[in-house]
Structure 1
Amino acid sequence: MAAVRLDQLRKVYPNGHVGVAEASFEIADGELLVLVGPSGCGKTTLLRMLAGLESISGGTLSIDGRVVNAVAPKDRDIAMVFQNYALYPHMTVAENLGFGLKLRGHKQADIDRRVMATARTLELESRLASRPAALSGGQRQRVALGRALVRDPKVFLLDEPLSNLDAKLRLSMRVEIARLHRQLKATMVYVTHDQIEAMTLGQRIVVLDGGVIQQIDTPMNLYERPANLFVAGFVGSPAMNLLHGALRYDGGWILATARGGIALGEPAQAAAWQPWRDREVVLGIRPEDLRPRDMGSVALCAQLEVIEPVGNEIFLNLRHGDQTLVSRVPPRPLPEPGSTLPLELAAGRLHLFDPASGRRIAT
Structure 2
Amino acid sequence: MARVQLQGVRKVYPDGFVAVHGASFEVADGELLVLVGPSGCGKSTLLRMIAGLESITAGSLRIGERVVNDVAPKDRDIAMVFQSYALYPHMTVAENLAFGLKLRGHDKAAIGERVAEAAKTLELDALLERRPAALSGGQRQRVALGRALVRHPQVFLLDEPLSNLDAKLRMSMRVEIARLHRRLGATMVYVTHDQIEAMTLGQRIVVLDGGEIQQIDTPMALYEKPANLFVATFLGSPAMNVLRGTLVREDGLALALGDGARLPLDGDGVPEAWLGSEVDVGIRPEDLRRDTGAGAAFAPTVEVVEPVGNEVFVNLQQGPFALIARLPPGELPEPGARLPLRAAAGRLHVFDPGSGERLPG
Question: What's the TM-score bracket when you normalise by the shorter of the two chains?
Answer: over 0.9
Residue type matched to 2:194 in 1? D
1:116 offset after TM fit, Å? Answer: 0.3
- The CA distance in 2 between the partners of 1:297 and 1:124, in whole Å, is 63
| Structure 2 counterpart of 1:287, from 263, 278, 285 | 285
Instruction: Report the counterpart of residue 331 of structure 2 in structure 1.
Output: 333
**Per-residue displacement from partner, 1:54-98 (whole Å, max 9, x unpaired)?**
000000000001100000000000000000000000111001001
Counterparts of 1:297 and 1:176 in 2: how far apart (Å)? 51
1:125 aligns with 2:125: yes
Partner in structure 2 of residue 30 of structure 1 = 30
Task: Write the deviation string for residues 292-314 of structure 1: whole angstroms up to 9, x where unpaired.
Answer: 22335735110000001122111
SS in 1 for 2:113: helix
How far the C-alpha of 1:264 sits from its partner, in A, is 2.9
User: 1:298 and 1:201 mapped to 2: Cα distance?
Assistant: 41
- Asked if the contact 2:281–2:351 (Cα under 8 Å) also holds between the matched residues in 1, the reply is yes
User: What pairs up with 1:311-326 in 2 under 5 angstroms?
Assistant: 311-326=309-324
Cα distance, 1:333 vs structure 2:
0.8
Query: After the TM superposition, which residues 91-102 of structure 1 pair with which residues of structure 2 at under 5 Å, given as runs?
Result: 91-102=91-102
Separation of aligned partners in 2, 1:245 and 1:217 = 29
Q: Cα–Cα, structure 1 residues 297 and 30, in superposed 2: closer, same or farther, change >3 Å?
A: farther
TM-score (norm: length of structure 1): 0.98
The answer (yes or no) to whether the contact 2:93–2:143 under 8 Å persists in 1 is yes
Residue 158 of structure 2 aligns with an amino acid whose one-letter code is L
- Deviation string 1:311-345 (CA, Å, 9 cap, x unpaired) is 21110000001110000011111121110111011
Contact 1:291 1:345 in 2 (8 A): yes
Equivalent residue for 2:82?
82
Do structure 1's residue 103 and structure 2's residue 78 form an aligned pair?
no
Please say if residues 3 and 64 of structure 2, whose CA atoms lie closer than 8 Å, have aligned partners that are also in contact: yes
3-state DSSP of counterpart to 1:254: strand
**Residues 259-278 of structure 1 correspond to what in structure 2 (within 5 A)?**
259-270=259-270, 273-278=271-276
Q: Which residue pairs with 1:66 in the alignment?
A: 66
The equivalent of 2:351 in structure 1 is 353
| Cα separation, 2, equivalents of 1:195 and 1:335 | 30
Aligned partner of 1:343 in structure 2 is 341
Q: Which residue of 1 is the match for residue 238 of structure 2?
A: 238
What is the rounded CA distance, in whole Å, between the counterparts of 2:262 and 2:50 in structure 1? 48
Structure 2: where are the runs of 5+ without partners? none
CA deviations 1:187-207 (Å, max 9, x no partner) are 000000000000000000000
1:269 Cα deviation from its structure 2 partner: 2.1
Do structure 1's residue 140 and structure 2's residue 145 form an aligned pair?
no
Are the counterparts in 1 of residues 21 and 211 from structure 2 also a CA contact under 8 Å? Answer: yes
Match of 2:202 in 1: 202
Task: Tell me the SS of whatever aligns to 1:183.
Answer: helix
The whole-number CA distance in structure 2 between the counterparts of 1:4 and 1:67 is 10
Judge conservation of contact 2:159–2:192 (CA < 8 Å) in 1: yes
Distance of 1:285 and 1:266 partners within structure 2: 12
Partner of 1:310: 308
C-alpha displacement at 1:262, in angstroms? 2.3
Measured in 2, the distance between the counterparts of 1:292 and 1:53 equals: 53
Q: Distance in 2 between matches of 1:24 and 1:297?
A: 51
Which amino acid counterpart does residue 150 of structure 1 have in structure 2? V
The share of aligned pairs that are identical, in percent, is 69
Aligned-pair CA distance for 1:248? 1.5
- Residue pairs, 1:205-220, within 5 angstroms: 205-220=205-220
Q: Is the 8 A contact 2:266 2:346 kept in 1?
A: no
Query: Shift of residue 347 of structure 1?
Result: 1.9
In the alignment, is the contact (CA less than 8 A) between 2:269 and 2:349 conserved in 1?
no
Q: Residues 32 and 181 of structure 2 are in contact (CA less than 8 Å); yes or no, is this contact kept in structure 1?
A: yes
Maintained 8 Å contact 2:305/2:333: no
Name the amino acid aligned to 1:252: G
Secondary structure (helix, strand or coil) at the match of 1:349 reads: coil
Q: Does 1:189 align with 2:180?
A: no
Q: Could you say what secondary structure the match of 2:71 adopts?
A: coil
Asked whether the 8 Å contact 1:252–1:263 carries over to 2, the reply is no
Aligned length: 361
One-letter identity of the residue aligned with 2:284: R
The answer on whether the counterparts of 1:264 and 1:347 sit within 8 Å (CA) in structure 2 is no
Deviation at 1:265, TM superposition (A): 3.9
For 2:193, the aligned partner's letter is H
The aligned counterpart of 1:55 is 55
Unaligned runs of 5+ in 1: none
- Is the contact between residue 263 and residue 298 of structure 1 (CA under 8 Å) also seen in structure 2? no
Report the counterpart of residue 165 of structure 2 in structure 1.
165
Query: What TM-score do you get using the length of structure 2 for normalisation?
Result: 0.98
The answer to whether the aligner puts 1:5 opposite 2:5 as a matched pair is yes
Q: Summarize the Cα distance change of 1:69–1:297 in structure 2 as closer, same or farther, 3 Å threshold.
A: farther
Q: CA RMSD in A?
A: 1.0
